[in-house]
């Protein structure tokens, strides 16, 4: 298949990330979720693999209940009310983009607050138990669809209640295309690092022509896709961005920027509101799992590996990528961020992280 610099991969896009610490979820959840990446919260969990939010509630029987039936019904009502409260709190902690969470949207917009609260009230009951003394209920609602649509547009006046990290690294989501290193020794190191990355990127095709990342099926003689290349033959069926070496956490509408070039590799909202709300990108817990999702990325996806997180803000992530043919191809395809997302992306979103 011949494709121009502004073309698109024939397949879809999947992000990879492995988060250490609490975000991996408690060990006891592994069996129930099939080993999927589950983000545990204080009141519930976010299953990024299956694309849903879940919370449990509990209620005890009242000793003043006149009959056992009344006691059971009262405990079940209390459990469900508790589950709704916990689910709402869990939903409020879902990251929308970068470090921005649903609660930030609800705080500044009464409309969004009312809408999200209503969506939570429509959650499904997936499991309930009663042991004679305590009733428990588990509620579940999807990440995609109504919830994603409710936070699709950033409301006026939305400002973070925290300081993005690291300070002085610029805002990858501001459309400028370049980070802004800070002052002092930190700024000098950042500027020097950026220059070294650009220098290495320019030399990569010369020092290692045809060099490819592990797992790519690129022809050794195929030239890198640079500014002067009008078209390149892309044999890969999709794109996998491997974030397993970074601290990046999952969000509904990821924005990933290449630190060296300032180019936006992926902007989930560029797919359009309908596709973005349904899930414009997929997630997997490992490269192997991503490759197995052939319905999204096809049989021979291109692999691009992130080395570390350069900057995180409320609007996206700036990443240091491994240089090579894969990155150059991805940057060429991402000349228009929507191009990668337009083809091979199903509205019936499957997310695995």
Q: Which H, E and C letters describe the chain, residue by residue? A: CEEECCCCCCCCEEEECCCCHHHHCCCCHHHHHCCCCEEECCCEEEECCCCEEEEEEEEECCCCCCCHHHHHHHHHHHHHHHHHHHHHHHHHCCEEECCEEHHHHHHHCHHHHHHHHHHHHCCEEEEEEECCCEEEEEEEEECCCHHHHHCCCCCCCCCCCCCCECCCCCCCCCCCCCCCCCCHHHHHHHHHHHHHHHHHHHHHHHHCCCCCCCCCCCCCCCCCCCCCCCEEECCCCCEEEECCCCCCCCCCCCEEEECCCCCEEEEHHHHCHHHHHHCCCEEECCHHHHHHCHHHHCCCCEEEEEEEEEEEECCEEEEEECCCHHHHHHHHHCCCHHHHHHCCCCCCCCCCC
What mean pLDDT do residues 210-238 have?
A: 39
pLDDT over 60 at 203, yes or no: no
Task: Tell me: pLDDT of 205 over 50.
Answer: no
Domains of the chain: residue spans and CATH: 2-18+166-342 (no CATH), 52-142 (3.10.28)
More confident residue, 226 or 189: 189
Give me the mean pLDDT over the 54-65 stretch: 96
Q: Per-residue pLDDT for 237 more than 80?
A: no
Q: Which span out of 63-67, 240-244, 328-332 was modeled with the highest average pLDDT?
A: 63-67
The answer on pLDDT for 244 being more than 50 is yes
- Predicted confidence at residue 220, as pLDDT, reads 37
Answer whether residue 3 shows pLDDT above 60: no
- Judge whether residue 30 has pLDDT over 50: no
In this prediction, residues 290-301 reach a mean pLDDT of 76
Average pLDDT over residues 221-244: 51
pLDDT computed for residue 301 by the predictor: 75
Q: To the nearest whole percent, how much of the chain has pLDDT over 90?
A: 29
Q: How confident is the model at residue 350 (pLDDT cuts 50, 70, 90)?
A: very low
Confidence of residue 36 (pLDDT cuts 50, 70, 90): low
């Amino acid at each position: 298949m011949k494709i121009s610099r502004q073309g698109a991969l024939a397949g879809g896009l999947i992000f990879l990330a492995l988060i250490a610490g609490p975000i991996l979820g408690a060990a006891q959840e592994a069996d129930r979720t099939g080993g999927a990446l589950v983000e545990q919260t204080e009141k519930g969990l976010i299953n990024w693999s299956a694309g849903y939010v879940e919370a449990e509630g509990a209620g005890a029987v009242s000793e003043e209940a006149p009959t056992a039936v009344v006691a059971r019904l009262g405990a079940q009502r209390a459990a469900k009310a508790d589950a709704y409260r916990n689910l709402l709190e869990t939903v409020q902690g879902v990251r929308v983009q970068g470090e921005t969470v649903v609660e930030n949207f609800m705080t500044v917009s009464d409309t969004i607050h009312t809408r999200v609260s209503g969506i939570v009230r429509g959650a499904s009951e997936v499991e309930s138990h009663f042991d004679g003394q305590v009733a428990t209920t588990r509620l579940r609602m999807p990440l995609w669809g109504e919830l994603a649509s409710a936070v699709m547009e950033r409301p006026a006046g939305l400002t973070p209640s925290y300081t993005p990290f690291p300070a002085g690294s610029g805002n990858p989501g501001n459309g400028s295309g370049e980070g802004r290193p800070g002052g002092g020794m930190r700024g000098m190191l950042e500027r020097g690092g950026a220059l070294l990355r650009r220098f290495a990127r320019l030399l990569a095709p010369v020092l290692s022509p045809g060099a490819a990342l592990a797992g790519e099926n690129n022809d050794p003689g195929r030239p890198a896709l640079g500014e002067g290349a009008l078209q390149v033959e892309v044999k890969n069926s999709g794109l996998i961005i491997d974030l397993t070496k970074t601290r990046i956490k999952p969000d509904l509408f990821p924005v990933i920027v290449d630190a060296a070039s300032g180019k936006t590799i992926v902007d989930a909202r560029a797919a359009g509101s309908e596709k973005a709300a349904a899930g414009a990108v997929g997630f997997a817990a490992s490269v192997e799992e991503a490759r197995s999702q052939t319905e999204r990325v096809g049989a021979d996806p291109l692999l691009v590996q992130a080395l570390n997180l350069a900057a995180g803000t409320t609007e996206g992530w700036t990443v240091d990528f491994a240089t090579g043919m894969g990155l150059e191809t991805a940057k060429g395809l991402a000349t228009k961020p929507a191009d990668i997302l337009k083809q091979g992306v199903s509205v019936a979103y499957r997310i695995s992280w």
